[in-house]
Structure 1
Amino acid sequence: MTDQTPFGTARGLLSAHGADLLRGDDGAVITSVETYALAVPLKRPIADATAALAHWTVPVVEIRTADGRVGTGISGIHCAPELLSDVITSYYADALLDTSSEDILGTWKRLYWLPTHWMGRAGVIHMALAMVDIALWDLAAQRAGMPLWRLLGGTPDSVEAYNTDGGWLNLTDADLVRDLTSLIDRGWSRVKIKVGRPDWREDARRARAVRRAIGDDVTLMCDANQRWDLSTANKIMPAFEEVAMDWVEEPFHADDLQAHARLQASTRLDVAAGESIYSYHQFASFVAADAIRVVQADVTRVGGVTEWLQIASHAASRGLRLAPHAGDMMQVHQHLVGTVLSEVPPLVEFIPWTQEAFVERSVVREGLMERPQSPGASTAIDPSARARWQIPGVGGTRTV
């Protein structure tokens, strides 16, 4: 069968055409979709086991409605923001324009089942869907006149945070210890280090040095960024148990469910993953196999707020910890954590790289993140940041 639709107007048989949908409130109708991206410079170069970075790229979609509101969706990536922008402007925009921004779940299903579904149910296609979904939830919270966490039923209590911005793999042993002890001196009680060096013994040595420096009362986690095989993980795990590592994050390739399950069965430490898991179904498989005990669903990697909430509820119903990976640099996650019924205290990852890019910045005191108070999802981009850091040639605008 040959697709007769013009390029850029892909429409799935499972996706209703916008003209066939109820519009609802005329003010909530989508009138334009704009994409662009920022390259936000880091204060210092950093590296983990897979990448070295000097800036963080923030793809952005702004969805405007007839009543003049602007909903902002974001992502966070290492490179290639034009791929996300192209999916939204060339394919998703046709299914968004002249439809209701209030139909969040309906829009999610409509975009998900476009023919782009067969180009990839994860990665770029799904991350673009996440950006749109975040923008629609931002609009919903604005229209309700409240921050997103309150719209979702969350409590106003501050949320405990852990700091990832001091344990980078490119630091010398001395600098690693100095960075982490500095964080402790500033009130942080939970910190994370990167592991995954070619020789696992170096990781063991660095972990022991950190534990000696920070003492036994500070919670310590580690992240291998998928660099191990099962043999390496088994060799290093006794050292990590010795230093009371709170969790071991992404030890293996993200698709290797069996390796995660075998490691989790062999250690008293919790295995964590989620940064590179893109759907509720995949998370459900990992949970069913008892392959992870810490669920790190990232709102920018799964299908936005809508799918994140489903994953969070699933994890909570099984008594698992939820600690989202902060691809959004916690702008959205500060609203999402603590909004599902769970006996496990909420926890959010703190990485301050992009704070200057946003109108509303995160507030953390003594390791506790305060709930934002402005209506919306805290995703609106500061115009001065756009003027400084927008990447030329990336993005576009579609209007009704």
Structure 2
Amino acid sequence: MTDQTSPSSAVGLLSVPGADLRRGDDGAVITSVETYALAVPLKRPIADSTAAMAHWTVPVVEIRTADGRVGTGISGIHCAPELLSGVIDPYYADALLGTDSEDVLGTWKRLYWLPTHWMGRSGVVHMALAMVDIALWDLAAQRAGKPLWQLLGGTPDSIEAYNTDGGWLNLGDADLVRDVTALVDQGWSRVKVKVGRTDWREDARRVRAVRRAIGDDVTLMCDANQRWDLSTANRIMPVLEEVAMDWVEEPFHADDLRSHARLQASTRLDVAAGESIYSYHQFASFLEADAIRVVQADVTRVGGVTEWLQIAAQTAARGLRLAPHAGDMMQVHQHLAGTVLSEVPPLVEFIPWTQQAFVERSTVREGFLERPQAPGASTAIDPAARARWQIAGVGSTRTL
């Protein structure tokens, strides 16, 4: 192996179930694992109630197999990409090299139950697992010669999208209205605005102004990014009902199941959450409590495609809406939406910030995202983008 000595060598594969691994097709054997990250600049500074950003960080893992294929897994974060590579490089890579890339579920289980499990069943460790899992599904789709949505049994129909690239909290009232109406003028029929000002009455004034400007025919959602308590939410809910808000996203801390459930029981609006919920076990608890009715599972936050599909099936079985949070900037979710049996039409969050980073870019026409056609998961990084935006000092390469 190259580049560094792994601190995980003492625990190695022999410490986890399934140490006697099958190799399968020799061409599918994993021969190298490389990590790096990009800092993709935004067109303008933005802010919600928890963060201000001038770029979006895209951590990347590339898994190479003996047959020359490269599977690419990605994440999307505000900061600290070295934490993700710090899980993959010294710990996950040892468990991957020399194993069968086609054993996707088996690999998921082995990585999940490594000793790193005790350091984080959510957050950084779980997001690193997601990156690896996405890369393995990318390889599987490439080997099948199909785009991932087709491998998963999805229909070729385009998927309706809603636009989140507007309505930011750092905008003054007039700029907020101009920002959202510009999206409507571009043809978007579903838009979202940020709320979560210190004084809830400012939020009330702003959402009323937006509704007056865009009219009644445009679907409007809002996102508080976990900044409210139950008292604040109860005060502003009559205003959100008045403006016919489609959903109220992340009103409370992501672990506060009780407040979500109490709010959902008290309003005819749908409560949405999921970008900060990291496992199908946690989602099952929220669904059982009827705490949310819009499920925003993010493939980069839960354990990749494998766990996302589990959550999607739970959601569909309850007749709830599935509207993935797009930490991946929709690159993977454009494949995942509409791959489970459900009477609820699929919906994808549109955020175009990192389009130039990818070889295959998303196509949206009149508010609908068209299905990608190239084999794989649409995650391959454009070499020119890597040369331009790669973050120095983050990541490494390990080989068999």
TM-score (norm 1): 0.97
Matches within 5 A, 1:349-360: 349-360=349-360
Which amino acid in 2 is paired with 1:185?
D
Matching residue of 1:175: 175
The CA RMSD measured in Å over matched residues stands at 1.0
| Distance apart, 1:7 and its partner CA | 2.0
Matching residue of 2:27: 27
Which amino acid in 2 is paired with 1:159?
I
Structure 1 portions without partners, runs of 5+: none
For residues 124 and 32 of structure 1, what CA distance do their matches in structure 2 show? 22
| Distance apart, 1:15 and its partner CA | 3.0
Matches within 5 A, 1:356-395: 356-395=356-395
For residues 99 and 6 of structure 1, what CA distance do their matches in structure 2 show? 17
Partner SS state of residue 89, structure 2: helix
Matches within 5 A, 1:270-309: 270-309=270-309
Matching residue of 2:84: 84
For residues 185 and 195 of structure 2, what CA distance do their matches in structure 1 show? 23
Which amino acid in 2 is paired with 1:380?
A
Matching residue of 1:15: 17
Sequence identity (%): 86
Matching residue of 1:47: 47
How far does the alpha carbon of each residue in 1:30-57 deviate from its partner, in whole angstroms, 9 at most, with x for none? 0000000000000000000000000000
Contact 1:87–1:125 (8 Å) recurs in 2: yes
For residues 340 and 16 of structure 2, what CA distance do their matches in structure 1 show? 30
Partner SS state of residue 86, structure 2: helix
Matching residue of 1:197: 197
Matching residue of 1:93: 93
| Distance apart, 1:86 and its partner CA | 1.2
- Structure 2 residue 353 is the aligned partner of structure 1 residue 334: no
Contact 1:49–1:227 (8 Å) recurs in 2: yes
| Distance apart, 1:14 and its partner CA | 3.7
| Distance apart, 1:6 and its partner CA | 7.2
For residues 123 and 90 of structure 1, what CA distance do their matches in structure 2 show? 18
Contact 1:358–1:379 (8 Å) recurs in 2: yes
How far does the alpha carbon of each residue in 1:165-202 deviate from its partner, in whole angstroms, 9 at most, with x for none? 01100011111111111111111000000000000000
- Structure 2 residue 233 is the aligned partner of structure 1 residue 233: yes
For residues 107 and 21 of structure 1, what CA distance do their matches in structure 2 show? 10
How far does the alpha carbon of each residue in 1:186-223 deviate from its partner, in whole angstroms, 9 at most, with x for none? 11000000000000000010000000000000000000
How far does the alpha carbon of each residue in 1:297-355 deviate from its partner, in whole angstroms, 9 at most, with x for none? 00000000000000000000000000000000000000000000000000000000000
Contact 2:6–2:91 (8 Å) recurs in 1: no
How far does the alpha carbon of each residue in 1:259-308 deviate from its partner, in whole angstroms, 9 at most, with x for none? 00000000000000001000000000000000000000000000000000
For residues 15 and 365 of structure 1, what CA distance do their matches in structure 2 show? 47
For residues 16 and 6 of structure 1, what CA distance do their matches in structure 2 show? 20
Matching residue of 1:134: 134
For residues 112 and 281 of structure 2, what CA distance do their matches in structure 1 show? 14
| Distance apart, 1:16 and its partner CA | 2.4
Partner SS state of residue 217, structure 2: coil
- Structure 2 residue 209 is the aligned partner of structure 1 residue 213: no
How far does the alpha carbon of each residue in 1:344-395 deviate from its partner, in whole angstroms, 9 at most, with x for none? 0000000000000000000001100000000000000000000000000000
Which amino acid in 1 is paired with 2:113?
W
Question: How many equivalent residue pairs?
Answer: 394
For residues 370 and 215 of structure 2, what CA distance do their matches in structure 1 show? 27
Structure 2 portions without partners, runs of 5+: none
For residues 179 and 229 of structure 1, what CA distance do their matches in structure 2 show? 28
Contact 1:15–1:114 (8 Å) recurs in 2: no
For residues 168 and 16 of structure 2, what CA distance do their matches in structure 1 show? 45
Which amino acid in 1 is paired with 2:278?
Y
How far does the alpha carbon of each residue in 1:71-125 deviate from its partner, in whole angstroms, 9 at most, with x for none? 0000000010001001001000000000000000000000000000000100000
Matching residue of 2:249: 249
| Distance apart, 1:134 and its partner CA | 0.1
Partner SS state of residue 272, structure 1: strand
Contact 1:15–1:111 (8 Å) recurs in 2: no
Partner SS state of residue 170, structure 1: coil
TM-score (norm 2): 0.97
| Distance apart, 1:11 and its partner CA | 3.7
For residues 14 and 253 of structure 1, what CA distance do their matches in structure 2 show? 34
Which amino acid in 2 is paired with 1:306?
T
For residues 36 and 218 of structure 1, what CA distance do their matches in structure 2 show? 40
Moved over 4 A (4+): none
Contact 2:6–2:90 (8 Å) recurs in 1: no
For residues 7 and 139 of structure 2, what CA distance do their matches in structure 1 show? 29
